Amino acid sequence: MRKFRVALVGAGRIGRIHAANVASHPQLSLSHVVDPVSRSAEAVAAGAGARVASLANVLADASVDGVIVASSTDMHLDCCLAAHAAGKAIFCEKPLDLSLARLTRAARDLADARLFVGFNRRFDPHFAALRAQLAEGAVGKLESLQITSNDPAPPPIDYVLVSGGLFRDMAIHDFDMARWLLGEPVSEIFAWGAALVDPAIGEAGDIDTARTVLKTPSGRLCAIANSRRSGFGYDQRIEAYGSAGMLRAGNVVESTLQVWSEPGARADRFQNFFLDRYAAAYAAEMAHFADVLAGRATPLIGFDDGTAALALAEAAGRSLADGKPVRL
């Protein structure tokens, strides 16, 4: 069985996860690590038996089959364009870019790219089970969706400032979920938000709490709840209402332990954040990238999906700014 050599661009938190998943996949091996912070690159490379390199060197190396783009967001699109020009398959972290205009300009160049966009939640076993049951008609025909997506605690304000804002940084996952589940394009979007969690977020021109509603041509409705702070861990839930009932997938606890005492039964903590909740999803993403490299699959999430999710995020931002729905 042939092994594919992949290079990692970006040795931060998410890059290290991808490196570990490459290491434990039987058909992948990590060849290079690229990061402007050489200490980060060296640490990841050493653990994986890979070499530290520049992006140019990586792309010039014909033995490299694929590139994982896990750099800072502002580098994503340029990396993708360069990697595609060099004939590499690409696994790019979300979002592809923070500017819809830039993505639109890049569309032609990336039209035939083997580009897999890492909307990890599609690979979460809980949400995947929900979608499979929906497709099997377990609750009849879909009518509406409720997506709840709250982070445990707000990020540092430095991050907020470069994040692109709640819709493009955080809710973009939920927009992708909505697109994945609704079975129809979104035709209109309405969003309200406020900075209730941290005044500094408001001063930075962003929001930390939002309610967004999406509509499809046939009248299907999807409401999204977002907050930068749940107070109880990672809050990632979906409810799908159909003509014969409802499907729901919910949060994951750290263990099944319960304490039954005088104030009532208490379950264990919820998993705190994405590294725990989506660990299986990250591994499944990498297995899919291996399938793409081996020619067994085409990317399940491509450039158009990355663009469409960003388009919803931008529309949500406009709706918030203008105080009225935005037609897509």
Residue numbers 175-214 binding a copy of itself by CB under 8 A:
188, 190, 192-197, 209-211, 213
* CB count in 10 Å sphere of residue 159: 10
Residue 328 contacts residue 311 (beta carbons within 8 Å)? yes
Distance CA 75, CA 9 (A): 10
Q: How far is the CB of 308 from a copy of itself (least distance, A)?
A: 20
Question: What part of residues 9-28 is at the interface with a copy of itself (CB under 8 A)?
Answer: 24, 26
Q: Which amino acid is at 109?
A: D
Q: Does 227 bind a copy of itself (CB under 8 A)?
A: yes
User: Would you count residue 247 as binding a copy of itself (CB under 8 A)?
Assistant: yes
Report the C-alpha gap between 95 and 126 in whole angstroms.
22
Q: Are residues 39 and 61 in contact, defined by beta-carbon separation less than 8 angstroms? A: no
* Minimum CB distance to a copy of itself smaller for 118 or for 193: 193
DSSP E strand stretches across the chain: 4-9, 28-34, 51-52, 66-69, 89-93, 115-118, 142-150, 188-194, 209-215, 221-227, 235-242, 245-249, 258-261, 264-267, 326-327
Among 49, 87, 183, 231, binds a copy of itself (CB under 8 A): 231
60, 159, 248, 321: which one contacts a copy of itself (CB under 8 A)? 248
Cβ 262 to a copy of itself, closest distance in Å?
6
Question: Shortest distance, CB of residue 327 to a copy of itself, whole angstroms?
Answer: 9
Binding mask 124-153 for a copy of itself (x = CB under 8 A): -xx--xx--x----xxx--xx-x-x-x---
Pair type for strands 28-34 and 51-52: parallel
C-alpha span between 18 and 50 (Å, rounded): 13
Of residues 60, 268, 298, 321, which one binds a copy of itself by CB under 8 A?
A: 268
In the complex with a copy of itself, which residue's Cβ is closer, 112 or 260? Answer: 260
To a copy of itself, the closest distance from the beta carbon of 51 in angstroms equals: 19
Of residues 56, 111, 162, 259, which one binds a copy of itself by CB under 8 A?
259
Segment lying near a copy of itself (by CB under 8 A), choices 5-13, 100-108, 163-171, 232-240: 232-240
Least Å distance, CB 46 to a copy of itself, is 11
Give the nearer residue to a copy of itself in terms of CB position, either 71 or 319.
319
Site for a copy of itself in 90-129 (CB under 8 A): 125-126, 129
Locate 56 and state its tokens: 């140019």
C-beta of 201 vs 293, nearer to a copy of itself:
201
DSSP H helical segments within 107-262, as ranges?
A: 125-135, 157-162, 166, 172-182, 199-203
Beta strands in 138-274 (DSSP E): 142-150, 188-194, 209-215, 221-227, 235-242, 245-249, 258-261, 264-267
The number of beta carbons lying within 10 Å of the beta carbon of residue 263 is: 7
Nearest approach, Cβ of residue 235 and a copy of itself (Å): 8
